[in-house]
Homo-oligomer: A and B are copies of this chain.
Amino acid sequence: RIDGARLWDSLMAMASIGATPAGGCNRQALTDEDKQGRDLFVRWCREIGCEIRVDRMGNIFARRAGTEAGIAPVITGSHLDTQPTGGKFDGVYGVLAGLEVLRTLEDKGIKTRAPLELVVWTNEEGARFSPAMIGSGVWAGEFTLEYAHSRADKSGKTIGEELARIGYLGELAPEPGPVTAAFEAHIEQGPILEKQNETIGVVTGVQGIRWYDVTFRGKPCHAGPTPMADRRDPVQALAILCERLYSEVKAYSDDARMTCGDLRAEPGSRNTVPEKVVLALDLRHPKPDGLEHLHRTLYRLAEQVEEAAGVTIDVREEWHSPPVQFDESCVAAVSAAVERLGYSHRKMVSGAGHDSVYVSRVAPVSMIFVPCAGGLSHNEAEFAEPAHLEAGCNVLMHAMLDRAGI
């Protein structure tokens, strides 16, 4: 069994870096706070004798040697970056649960046949730099390094520049070697486990995600003398499109999701009809055909509104992460660990994207969910019970030992 109190203390120590007045965390990818969090992580790993390597995407690999040569590692990990108004657990839990596993093995003098590797993936949130999960994505071959390095935040700073600036532009090529198995612990970020009063979610896959920049281009004109009938108003087009899309998405299925996370008007002057409005849109569905339906609905409505409002609507797909099914043997390893430990549990599909999505392209993977209060995440009030975090970490350790061998 792991040490739940030590895990909790580590979580709280990490949460002090980028702590917000409202009790959350703002430790966005590749900021000074992210650097501080990474430095603390590296120090902790070195204290238990791990070897640290950093790749050209800033992904950090902490390795605990195995007893047998030539066996591929069992890996675990998640991310340390947060949303701008994020919580203390999203991502961080998966990293520090992995650390707690390594610390426990160290304490108990347990050696594994396969090496264990604990990974911090860069920019999982996709909040500062789009898309999400880009660190694991480059490693797994989904994105090129050039593409990733050139991604810019709202102020124009790129991932490449910021990696160099904070000293995490490593030398290692971001590419996978052989992997025995991979596991990731995470808070659920949704309401199911809490509602069902279950401790562990055995994650069988992840729903699909598509991201869009929807740009509405009208004609700037004066707020006063310009008759309404003469206007080409991008905000009106935005309002109509969103209104219809929300209705259709909700009517389509309870599983469908639509989020308008960001809006920007240009030039953004109260007495000028904007020249353009840009909407950052997120659509999700657990099934490929469901996601495809939402995608088509968006394009259909955009075309309809474009004609009606005299505004051009450019829908540019920014990212597509199709639904993923995790490896059956890894799912079975998690299930077996939960059964052995005696926690209440259920199988479930993740509503959030995770680094495991990309890791699963090159390795057998499963995930372990624990409940979070009110299902709330991407919110400063995000909270998880210490007992649940401890349970998830125990499951992680047992699943890893199962695959790594003692």
List the interface of chain A (C-beta within 8 A of B): 83-85, 125-127, 130, 132, 154, 188-192, 207, 209, 211, 219-230, 233, 235-236, 238-240, 242-243, 246, 249-250, 254, 256-275, 277, 280-282, 284, 350-353, 375-380
The answer to whether A282 and B223 have CB atoms under 8 Å apart is: yes
CA separation between A84 and B257, bound complex, in Å? 36
Chain B residues with CB under 8 A of A226? 189-191, 257, 351, 375
**Contact with A191, one of B154, B223, B230, B238 (Cβ below 8 angstroms):** B230
Chain B residues with CB under 8 A of A258? 228
Chain B residues with CB under 8 A of A243? 236, 239-240, 243
Would you give the shortest CB distance from A384 to chain B, in whole angstroms? 14
Q: A188-B225, A240-B243 are in contact. List 5 more A-B contacts (CB 8 A).
A: A126-B271, A127-B270, A189-B226, A259-B271, A268-B280
Chain B residues with CB under 8 A of A233? 259-260
The answer to whether A242 and B235 have CB atoms under 8 Å apart is: yes
The answer to whether B222 and A352 have CB atoms under 8 Å apart is: yes
The answer to whether A269 and B261 have CB atoms under 8 Å apart is: yes
Would you give the shortest CB distance from A259 to chain B, in whole angstroms? 4
Chain B residues with CB under 8 A of A229? 254
The answer to whether A267 and B188 have CB atoms under 8 Å apart is: no
The answer to whether A262 and B265 have CB atoms under 8 Å apart is: yes
The answer to whether B222 and A271 have CB atoms under 8 Å apart is: no
Considering the complex of A and B, which 5 residue pairs feature the smallest CB-CB distances, nearest first? A190-B225, A225-B351, A223-B259, A239-B242, A224-B351
Chain B residues with CB under 8 A of A227? 190-191, 254
Chain B residues with CB under 8 A of A263? 235, 263-265, 268, 274, 277
CA separation between A224 and B282, bound complex, in Å? 9
A274 — nearest CB in chain B belongs to which residue? B261
The answer to whether B228 and A249 have CB atoms under 8 Å apart is: yes
